[in-house]
């Protein structure tokens, strides 16, 4: 089979399209003929060798490495101990994440734990299904239901999603990206008023998704323009996420998708909560997300698609930024 491998860490140029053996499913696993693969930030972090992660927290990657975790495809073979899936079933899944940060999804075939999979609904094509996986689960576990009791590696406090309803105001930073555009729609599904932050080019797109208010961060600073919101989901996160503390009312919450530096004493003084999630695989939650997409409650936006062989070009598109929705590789 053909797969994308990296033999060294670096830029998009290290991604090679090569012939490799078809993997064999182990106990509890199925073999999936991959149709589409969602591209996510962890794919880039792994390709670069995760230089921004402290050495003591950096996972060990065995090279050569086939990156990728998000797949939509068709079951090709099933281990003897697997029940609930059969050859020919269409499935989607976030594979082994975060236990294994890269699971070999940039390939024509991949093995997958059956527990990580959900049946793909017929009303959703493989490209949109693959695009939904990690981004959708991240938005779901931050905003709707955590679904597990594993703490974030960045803090001891357990994340508990704030209950959202028609009285809630939610600000989403990075609202046009993969996580952001789905989080916006989930918050609207719960009835919340949503303020979307992105560059001006995305205003029409985000208002079509339901944004009640739009802030162009290239023209004004959202942390200065907004006050008394109940919840900030910072889909950009990182060191600058702390600036959003001033936008919250007492009792509010800040959820940075990529965790930054926060002071527990400052948070307590302000009367706010700051918690983060490390997204985890969940076939059950993927089934719920698909149901919403199939019913038209949420829309999965595709920025662009690339053939598997052009993974380098896809990563170059990631590097250019200003992405609207998701970038997807196609393997069929």
Q: How many helices (H) and strands (E) does the chain have?
A: 8, 15
Judge if pTM exceeds 0.75.
yes
pLDDT at 189 over 80: yes
| 131's tokens | 């695009």
Output the pLDDT for position 64.
96
pLDDT per residue as tens digits for the range 99-143: 888 999 999 999 999 999 999 999 999 999 999 999 999 999 999
Output the pLDDT for position 236.
92
Phi, psi of 128 (to 5 degrees): -70, -30
d(CA 256, CA 262): 10
How many of the other CB atoms lie within 10 Å of CB of 243? 17
DSSP β-bridge partners for residue 92:
72, 118
């Amino acid at each position: 089979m053909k797969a994308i491998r990296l033999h060294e860490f670096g830029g998009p140029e290290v991604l090679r399209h090569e012939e490799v053996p078809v993997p064999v499913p182990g106990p509890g696993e199925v073999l999936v003929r991959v149709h589409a693969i969602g591209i996510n930030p962890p794919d880039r972090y792994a390709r670069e060798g995760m230089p921004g992660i402290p050495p003591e927290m950096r996972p060990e990657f065995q090279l050569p490495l086939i990156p990728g975790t998000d797949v939509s495809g068709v079951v090709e073979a099933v281990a003897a101990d697997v029940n609930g899936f059969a050859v020919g079933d269409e499935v989607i899944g976030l594979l082994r994440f975060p236990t294994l940060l890269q699971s070999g999804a940039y390939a024509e075939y991949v093995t997958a734990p059956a527990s990580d999979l959900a049946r793909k609904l017929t009303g959703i094509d493989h490209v949109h299904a693959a695009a939904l996986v990690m981004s959708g689960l991240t938005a779901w576990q931050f905003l709707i239901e955590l679904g597990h009791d594993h703490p974030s590696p960045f803090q001891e406090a357990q994340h508990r999603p704030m209950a959202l309803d028609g009285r809630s105001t939610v600000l989403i930073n990075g609202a046009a990206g993969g996580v952001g555009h789905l989080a916006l729609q989930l918050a609207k599904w719960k009835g919340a008023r949503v303020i979307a932050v992105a560059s001006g080019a995305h205003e029409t797109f985000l208002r079509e998704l339901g944004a009640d208010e739009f802030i162009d961060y290239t023209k004004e600073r959202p942390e200065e323009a907004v006050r008394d919101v109940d919840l900030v989901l910072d889909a950009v996160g990182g060191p600058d996420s702390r600036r959003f503390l001033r936008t919250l009312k007492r009792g509010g919450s800040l959820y940075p998708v990529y965790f930054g530096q926060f002071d527990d004493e400052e948070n307590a003084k302000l009367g706010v909560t700051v918690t983060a999630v490390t997204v985890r695989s969940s076939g059950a939650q993927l089934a719920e997300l698909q149901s919403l997409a199939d019913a038209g409650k949420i829309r999965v936006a595709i920025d662009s698609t690339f053939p598997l062989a052009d993974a380098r070009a896809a990563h170059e598109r990631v590097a250019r930024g200003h992405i609207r929705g998701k970038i997807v590789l196609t393997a069929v």
